[in-house]
Structure formats: C-alpha cells, structure tokens
Amino acid sequence: MKRKSKTIHLEHPAVFKNKLLLWTQQFDIFVWLDSNDYHQKYSSFDAVLAVETNKTLACDCKNAFDKLKVFQGEINDYIFGYLGYDLKNDLENLSSNNIDELGFSDLYFFQPKKIFLIKENKLIIKYLISYGNEIETDLESILNIKENLNKSNNDIQIKQRVSKKEYSKKLTNILSHIHRGDIYEVNFCQEFYAENTTIKPLTVYQKLNKISTPPFATFLKIKDRFLLSASPERFVTKEKNKIISQPIKGTAKRLENKKKDTEIAKQLFNDPKERSENIMIVDLVRNDLSKTAIKGSVKVEELCKVYSFNQVHQLISIVVSRVEIGTNPVEIIKSIFPMGSMTGAPKISAMKIIEEQEETKRGLYSGAVGYFTPNNDFDFNVVIRSILYNQSEKYVSFTVGGAITSKSIIANEYEECMVKAEAMKRALKI
C-alpha cells in the first residue's frame, strides 16, 4: 500500500509530542506509543502515532490468529492494534468465564490513514496516498494547538476485587499446586476497579506517564474504550530475521535515599527467589522461540539484569533467536503467545490455574499492543501497569500481579502487588 511521506526536523521534540497527543483527542481511534527516551538496546522509534482507520479487524478469540494472518497479508502495510490475553483460547483447549466489565474485543487491528514516527529530532509522516494532501493542514493544526490547562480529575473510589484475606487463601491454593508439582511458577493477578466513574483519559495518561516514564507507554483509544499504559516490558520484536523477547520477572521498590536505593538494586540482583522467577520464564521463552527458530539460534543475550524505573527496579532478561527469511510474522507471535512472564510454567497448566483462582477476565490486560510494518517486522509490549476504561459503562480498572514460586512468602507477594498498584492509584488521584 503506497504512502506519501514527509520528513521534518524538530527543534523541540518533547513540545511537538505533547501537541501531537493533544491533536489526537478529536479522533475515535488511535494508538500512541512512547519510549519516553528510555535507553533501549533494540529500538526503531522514540514515539509513534497511528490515527484514523482505513481498514479494521476486530474479533473474538475463535480463529483469531488465522484472521490476523489473512488481514496482515492482504493489507501489506503498517497495521496497529492489540492481542488480548484470552486469545489463549484460540491456541489451547482453554476458556475464559470470569467477570468482564470492560468489553474489549479479544483482538483488534487497523490500517491507519495517518502515521507519525519520531526518532530523536526527526519526524517522519506517512499518509495513505489518498490522504496525502492533508499533511500540511494537519501539521499546521498540530503546531498551532493550544494546551488544555484544565487538568483536574475527580478522585476515584477504587474497590479491591480480592480482599487481603481472600488473596492469602488463593495463594495458599496456588502454593499447594506448586508443591504437588502441577506447576513451577504462576503469575497471579488481582483487579482494582471503580463503577459509575468518569475520568479524563488524557489527563490520567499524562499523569501516569509522568509518574513512571516507562519505555513502552501506550495511549490507545477505540471509540469508547481506552488503554492508558505505563508498561516497562517488551513482549517481542522482530528486526529482519532476528526475534527479541525481553521478559521481566523480579521487582524491588525504589527508595529516595540514593545509597539505600543502590543497595536494594544489588539485593534484587542477588535475590535467589527473584532470580529463580526470572530464569524459569527465560527457559519458557527459549522453548517458545525454538518453535520457529533456526536450529541453534536461540540465545540469552542478558540474564537477570537490573533495570531501574521511577517506581521500581526490575530484573529483565533478553532472549533472541533467528528465523528463516519468509517466516510468517503472525505465526511467530502465535507460537509464543501469551507471554510467559504473564502466565508461568508449564504454560498451559499455569493458565488453567490462573482461570480457577483469578476473579476477573484479563482481556487486554497482560495482552500486547504494537504494530506490524510493511516488511513484516513487528514490535509489541506487554500490557501491565495500565488503566483500562470503558467510558460508556463508566467502568475503570487496573490489575496487578506477581510470580508465585515455591519460595514465595504470601505477605511479601501481597506487598509487591501494592507497590505495583501505586502508580495507577496516584494517576487516579486516590
């Protein structure tokens, strides 16, 4: 699909990014991806905006990956969207019968009419040919936009879906599965939610992003449904025939005292429990990548490296592989979905236990948002540290969780959830 392109030098990229984000608010459908200038080993752009739809694919889990494969192949262009966690039901004999108040499709992708790609001081604009004559007028509108000074947001009364007592009981059940050998590790999550609530999505996103400044921030709007994400985690990216996954497992809270903060980062790196969480998932990712990899190409580039964000330190590993040229990109993602960091190991057993013990359908949470390029590359994050909002139903939700292993202490796991929930609570002014 042909596009008209224009490249512009930006004097003040941060100012332009803010104006661009404000400009998007007039549209029903868009995806905004922002690295917040976080240094990454693998990165194509600092920020990307895809806005307005030419063609769309929205479906439930049944045959979803086959439908995406056809859609991506026929469009042969940039497509942006998301993969919901419950696409697992398209891959295995699994189901999702828990509460779902948000109502996102299991899968949604669209071919955008207009794309903005920002890398350092360079802006690349790519419009479908039939909309190419709108580039100059849109640029003028963006540059002249005035910042909305009304940034207030109502305080939100958040409820906890699972009480501390219930959480303890559920973890006791999960640990019994682990001690019996049913699983080695499982990512158990709990929802926080608010009913009959109205928020200003842009205000909440900007606040959440400022609190966390993560490398995989996302603001997604699909009509009346919003994702406001401060994700620190990449699920998977493809660069030519190289596949890169960067699972996160292992968390420690940041401290204001610099010396103590450095010490807690060292403790995280050396913590046997946190390292074992990460290594178990690295093994799972290695196994997943091997399904499409050239024999002998799966490698661990980094193991349990500490990365520091505003709220937390995290242990992140990098696992890579190479695939044969021409390997279908959707098949690669299908072979490794859902991401091991959000399931556990063994993956199928872990997902069954997640369904039994969690109260809420995950939906878009612990799924992935990203894009495919015309040359069959792709990049997807993991939807964590995120606020989800159904505007029509006036329902706000965020979910947090952690990896449970045989070494887990229930009180510590609960505290880790509360640490992870802090940024979302602050963004909602709780």
Catalytic residues: 233, 249
Tokens, residue 386: 């995120």
Closest by CA position to 274, among listed 299, 252, 301: 252
Biggest CA pair distance of the chain: 65
Strand segments, DSSP code E, in 168-286 are 185-194, 216-222, 225-231, 234-239, 242-246, 248-253
Long-range Cβ pairs for the range 168-175 (8 Å, 24+)? 168/410, 168/414, 170/357, 171/404, 171/408, 171/410, 171/413, 172/410, 173/357, 174/353, 174/357, 174/404, 175/404, 175/406, 175/408, 175/410
Instruction: Give the residue among 313, 243, 311 at the shortest CA–CA distance from 278.
Output: 313
Residue-by-residue DSSP string for 274-336: HHHHHHHHHHHHHHHHHTTSPTT--EEEEEEEEEE-SSEEEEEEEEEEE--TT--HHHHHHHH
Distance CA 126, CA 85 (A): 30
Is residue 261 within 8 Å of residue 311, measured between CB atoms?
Answer: no
CA dihedral 186, 187, 190, 193 (to 10 degrees): -150
Three-state DSSP state, 346: coil
Residue 351 one-letter amino acid: M
Residues present in the chain in total: 430
CA dist., res. 167 & res. 188, Å (int): 10
Please name every residue paired with 34 in a beta bridge, in sequence order, or none if there are none: 47, 217
Decide: helix, strand or coil at residue 176: helix
Chain-centre distance for alpha carbon 209: 13
- Alpha carbons within 13 angstroms on the beta-carbon side of residue 49 total 22
**How far is Cα 349 from Cα 352, in angstroms, rounded to an integer?**
5
Q: How far apart are CA 165 and CA 163, in angstroms?
A: 5
